Each structure stands twice: as C-alpha cells, then as structure tokens.
Amino acid sequence: MTTPKVRAIIFDIGRVLIRIDASRAMKGLATGLSLSPDELWSAIEKDPRWKDWQEGRIAARDWYLHMKQRFGGSVTFEEFTKTWNLVLDPEPIHPNEMFERLSKNYRLALLSNTDPIHVAHMESHYDFLAYFPARIYSCAVGVTKPNPLIYREALRACRVRAEEAVYIDDIAANVEAAQRLGMAGIQFESPMQLASAFQDLQMAI
C-alpha cells in the first residue's frame, strides 16, 4: 500500500511561526500589582475563564474587565490591548521565502489556540499570513487543541484527508492528537530541525 501524497501543511503559530515571550506583556500588566510577571501569567493561564477566552465565548472588552476585576490595575482597554500583544515577537521565526516555496506545492493552513486580541494583531502585523488561505483560530471556531474537532476543521478548510496532511506544533500532546486522526506530525524545535523533518517525509521544499 502506497503512502498518500502530502497535499497540505498545517502550522501552529506560537513558538512555531512567532516567538512567544509572556514576560514582556506581563511586565506591563503586573505594574503596581503584588504579583511578579511570571506569577501573573501563571494565574491568567489557570483562570477559570481562560478556556472561554481561547474558545471565543468572551469578547475582548469583557476579558479586559474580567482581568481588571480579578487582578486590579488602572490600565485602559487600549493600553491593555497594546500590552497583551507584546507577548508576540514582531520578528517571525521563518523567512517569507520558505512559505513562498511551500505554497507552490502544498495548501498551507494555520491552526492556533488563540484569542481575538492576538488574532487582530497578527492579521494586521505579519505579512507571511498571506501565504495561508486557511486560518483556523480557536476563538473563531469555539474549540481548542487537542480536541479533534479543531483538527477536522483545518482538514476541511484545506480540502484534504488526514493522511494527506502534515501538522506542526511545538507541544507534543497537540502533535499526538493530529497523529491519532491520521496526519503526519512534527514537533517543532528549530527551523533546521523542521527542514530535516520535511526531508524525512520526502516533501518538496
């Protein structure tokens, strides 16, 4: 039995395409609070409404009010938004030339657990997104990885079967979830390691 040809590559965003530095954002938000930046980020990720935020059940301004009510602080919504986006490094991990090459042979898609503030920022600040006609954001589809529903949404957007797709993520559990559906999976470590993994899959890069 022959292995199906790869027709689509689905990328996670954070720590795969864009570096994440939570401490940069938390330094601004922790000003005047009793928590350190690391303690604040840990508390936010463990917040009971974090999943609702990531799955689009809370509007951006309501999330800001929730954060302000829980942790205090005097920042305006506009200041909060600007500081929240500092978590995203402005310089992408990969050059646009890589996506240019890949897009000639494969359908490219994004699949990310993210929130509406970050989505708006990414859509307006990263030109490499133009190479990704399919963009699956958890806050838009109402489900987060590693739930299989969000992977199936990405496969539908790419119009491919699972066996025809490669999924790339820095988190092992998310890669494994894709593999359980039949996709090839790559746990991202570095650009060089990714290029080697593409070669192992005999992909045209």
DSSP state of 6: P
State which residues of the chain have pLDDT below 50: none
Same domain, 64 and 98: no
pLDDT digits (tens, 9 = 90+) for 90-100: 999 999 999 99
Same domain, 110 and 50: no
Q: Are 127 and 96 in contact (CB under 8 A)?
A: yes
Same domain, 37 and 125: no
Domain range holding 138?
8-19+92-200
What are the residue ranges of helices labelled H in the chain? 22-29, 37-45, 50-54, 60-71, 77-84, 96-103, 116-125, 138-141, 148-158, 172-180, 191-200
Same domain, 126 and 104: yes
Count the domains in the chain: 2
pLDDT at 2: 55
Contacting residues for 194 by C-beta, under 8 A, at least 6 apart: 168, 186, 188
Distances (CA, A) of 19 to 58, 94, 135, 203: 25, 10, 18, 25
Structural domain contains residue 1: no
Same domain, 194 and 119: yes
Structural domain contains residue 77: yes
pLDDT at 73: 83
pLDDT digits (tens, 9 = 90+) for 58-73: 999 999 999 999 998 8
